[in-house]
């Protein structure tokens, strides 16, 4: 029911072979490396700060760009970090100290309390008895997030919410702040590579989101409708704050949080005695909420810097080869890039320019309003780059005595093609996730507007109150009223009308409609 987000580990697995093989290059080939990386907006994009060895400090450059005019006083991330606590996901305390120092605030004490995950040992949770309704803590948590409940029905869930009351209050306060600066904290053991950026607090924010929607379901079970709407609004705002981070991972976590809020909105809509004033207030607040940051923001900044820093590391071979080798997930592509990077004809200036240009074009394409145009033009862009297509004759020449006869153009073009081929295709999945998330928000608003009409007039309208277009099909959303209840849905990514059946359809795993309905599940 809830969105599965991708982990940065996937990107590490894809890229580490390149770095590993480059680090293990023979000394005899090291003279092919440039003495100094060409620094300019067209090559490295970031032009400062510069390290003593002449390379760009991309972590510092990224944090400087992210901070802008955000201060500790108006920074939502300060309270979010406080809510999550000094040891997110078991991370060592030093990480929290570095994160707080980068935000300009005093770190919490090492033993300060923070958010508690469901079922965590030492907090009084009782494992489900054998033969009970639930097999494990995960099933209890899912139940608490999915449907209305009361404290006596789910005592473990009630305890979980009680333990996290302070954290939820801090997040509710945080999301009202105008700024958001969550600096990138790199792993010092891995040469400050952005691909190793530490994000335990971001991952832990999902537990905050789960707890917020579970508390909203508890409020609904107690018929405290305003409190439920308040928690759902906080969750929508929280999703948008987290998505303002520098990386695609942070965007995807924000998208996941919005998906959780969408499910909560659907439950709110299904309440037959929802007060009209609560519904109207929530619609007004949700309509005025800040927009999700465009996917182009992390692509244009954080992900571009990550790619360029990778190039910089490959070009200078400043790597811990032993560490990278232990994490490598295969070296076939890495071997190719290692051999290409050592070739004396490789034009590093042109490599940086071509990679930068490729990101420029992706950003431009993703800024287009039509999803159909984005898909078509992104595909055409990839085809123009010939991603993944490597001339087999060139590969044979690289391993022969004729390697020095390969032209500068061939070597450089092949290197760029292979490098981008491991980075750019992943953007497709992120773009689809963005469209799905924006659709969630539109459907929540439309469903609430339909509920408002029903509360005013006693019935749902025969047609939608406004002619909103499905972002996936660019046609009107599917809508029908039957037996006094409505069904509203997007056709989803497959573009096919699956009759409102979503991802949890056991009979057909291909269905992916995104439904909102006033008919409560039994």
The secondary structure of 344-385 as a DSSP string is TT--HHHHHHHHHHHHHHHHHHHTSS-HHHHHHHHHHHHHHH
How many percent of the chain have pLDDT more than 90?
A: 67
Structural domain total, the chain: 3
Question: Of 276, 296, 316, which residue sits at a domain end?
Answer: 296
> Residue-wise over 206-222: b if at least 16 C-beta within 10 A, else e?
bbbbbbbbbbbbbbbbe
Question: Of 233, 268, 296, which residue sits at a domain end?
Answer: 296
Query: Which is nearest to 241 in space by CA: 278, 206, 292, 276?
Result: 292
Query: Which residues of the chain have a pLDDT value below 70?
Result: 1-36, 190-191, 318-338, 388-392, 395, 399, 522
Q: Based on the domain organization, do 153 and 244 belong to the same domain?
A: yes
Q: Based on the domain organization, do 259 and 157 belong to the same domain?
A: yes
| pTM for the full predicted model | 0.90
Q: Based on the domain organization, do 170 and 282 belong to the same domain?
A: yes
Query: Which is nearest to 77 in space by CA: 168, 5, 183?
Result: 183
Residue 365 included in any domain: yes
Question: Of 262, 296, 330, which residue sits at a domain end?
Answer: 296
3-state secondary structure of 74: coil
Convert the pLDDT of each residue in 114-168 to its tens digit.
Answer: 999 999 999 999 999 888 899 999 999 999 999 999 999 999 999 999 999 999 9
81: number of CA atoms within 13 Å, CB side? 28
Q: Based on the domain organization, do 17 and 130 belong to the same domain?
A: no
Residue 84 included in any domain: yes
Residue 134 included in any domain: yes
Convert the pLDDT of each residue in 260-294 to its tens digit.
Answer: 999 999 999 999 999 999 999 999 999 999 999 99
Q: Based on the domain organization, do 380 and 496 belong to the same domain?
A: no
At 479, give phi and psi (nearest 5°). Answer: -150, 135
Q: Based on the domain organization, do 291 and 229 belong to the same domain?
A: yes
Residue 3 included in any domain: no
Q: Based on the domain organization, do 212 and 328 belong to the same domain?
A: no
Q: Based on the domain organization, do 323 and 268 belong to the same domain?
A: no
Residue 179 included in any domain: yes
CA distance 247 to 253: 10
Residue 522 included in any domain: no
Q: Based on the domain organization, do 512 and 452 belong to the same domain?
A: yes
At 486, give phi and psi (nearest 5°). Answer: -110, 155
Residue 1 included in any domain: no
pLDDT for residue 137: 96
Q: Can you spell out the DSSP letters for 378-405?
A: HHHHHHHHTTT---HHHHHHHTSGGGGG
Q: In the block, which residue shows the tokens 């923001």?
A: 297
Residue 75 included in any domain: yes
pLDDT for residue 334: 58
Query: Which is nearest to 209 in space by CA: 250, 163, 258, 249?
Result: 258
Q: Based on the domain organization, do 364 and 490 belong to the same domain?
A: no
Angle at 454 between CA 234 and CA 257, to 5 degrees: 20
Q: Name the strand (E) or helix (H) holding 444.
A: helix 426-457
Q: Based on the domain organization, do 217 and 78 belong to the same domain?
A: yes
Convert the pLDDT of each residue in 427-483 to its tens digit.
Answer: 888 999 999 999 999 999 999 999 999 999 999 999 998 778 999 999 999 999 999
Q: In the block, which residue shows the tokens 């997007």?
A: 490
For residue 491, the enclosing domain spans 441-517
pLDDT for residue 36: 64
pLDDT for residue 333: 57
Q: Based on the domain organization, do 106 and 234 belong to the same domain?
A: yes
pLDDT for residue 469: 92
Is the distance from CB of 321 to CB of 20 less than 8 angstroms? yes
Q: In the block, which residue shows the tokens 């929290």?
A: 96
């Amino acid at each position: 029911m809830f969105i599965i987000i991708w982990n940065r580990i996937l990107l590490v697995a894809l890229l580490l072979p390149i770095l590993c093989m480059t680090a293990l290059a023979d000394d005899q080939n090291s003279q092919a490396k440039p003495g100094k990386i060409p620094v300019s907006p067209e090559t490295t994009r970031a032009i400062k700060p510069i390290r003593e060895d002449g390379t760009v400090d991309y972590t510092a450059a990224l944090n400087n760009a992210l901070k802008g005019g955000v201060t500790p006083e108006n920074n939502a991330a300060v309270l979010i970090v406080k809510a999550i606590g000094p040891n997110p996901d078991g991370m060592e305390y030093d990480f929290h100290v570095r994160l707080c120092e980068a935000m300009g605030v005093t770190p919490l004490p090492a033993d300060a309390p923070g958010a508690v995950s469901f079922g965590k040992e030492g907090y009084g949770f009782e494992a489900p008895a054998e033969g009970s309704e639930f097999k494990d803590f995960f099933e209890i948590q899912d139940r608490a997030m999915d449907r209305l409940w009361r404290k006596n029905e789910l005592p473990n869930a009630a305890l979980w919410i009680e333990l996290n009351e302070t954290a939820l209050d801090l997040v509710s306060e945080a999301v009202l702040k105008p700024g958001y600066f969550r600096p990138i904290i790199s792993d010092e053991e891995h040469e400050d590579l952005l691909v190793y950026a530490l994000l335990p607090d971001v991952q832990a924010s999902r537990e905050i989101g789960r707890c917020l929607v579970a508390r909203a379901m508890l409020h609904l079970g107690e018929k405290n409708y305003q409190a439920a709407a308040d928690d759902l609004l906080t969750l929508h705002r929280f999703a948008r704050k987290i998505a303002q981070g520098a990386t695609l991972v942070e965007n995807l976590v924000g998208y996941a949080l919005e998906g959780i809020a969408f499910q909560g909105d659907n439950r709110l809509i299904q309440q037959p005695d929802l007060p009209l004033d609560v519904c109207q207030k929530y619609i007004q607040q949700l309509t005025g909420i800040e927009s999700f940051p465009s996917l182009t923001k992390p692509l244009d900044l954080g992900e571009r810097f990550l790619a360029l820093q990778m190039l910089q590391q490959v070009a200078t071979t400043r790597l811990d080869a032993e560490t990278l080798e232990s994490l490598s997930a295969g070296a076939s592509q890495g071997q190719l890039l290692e051999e290409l990077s050592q070739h004396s004809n490789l034009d590093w200036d042109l490599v940086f320019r071509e990679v930068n240009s490729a990101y420029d074009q992706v950003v431009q394409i993703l800024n287009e309003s039509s999803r159909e145009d984005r898909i078509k033009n992104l595909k055409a862009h990839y085809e123009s780059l010939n991603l993944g297509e490597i001339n087999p004759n060139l590969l044979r020449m690289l391993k022969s005595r004729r390697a020095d006869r390969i032209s500068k153009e061939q070597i450089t073009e092949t290197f760029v093609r292979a490098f981008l081929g491991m980075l750019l295709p992943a953007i497709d999945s992120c773009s689809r996730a963005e469209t799905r998330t924006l659709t969630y928000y539109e459907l929540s608003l439309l469903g609430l507007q339909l509920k408002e009409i029903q509360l005013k007039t006693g019935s749902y309208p025969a047609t939608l109150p406004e002619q909103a277009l499905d972002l996936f099909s660019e046609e009107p959303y599917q809508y029908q009223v039957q037996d006094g209840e409505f069904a509203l849905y997007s056709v989803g990514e497959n573009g096919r009308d699956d009759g409102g059946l979503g991802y949890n359809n056991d009979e057909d795993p291909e269905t992916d409609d995104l439904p909102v309905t006033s008919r409560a599940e039994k």
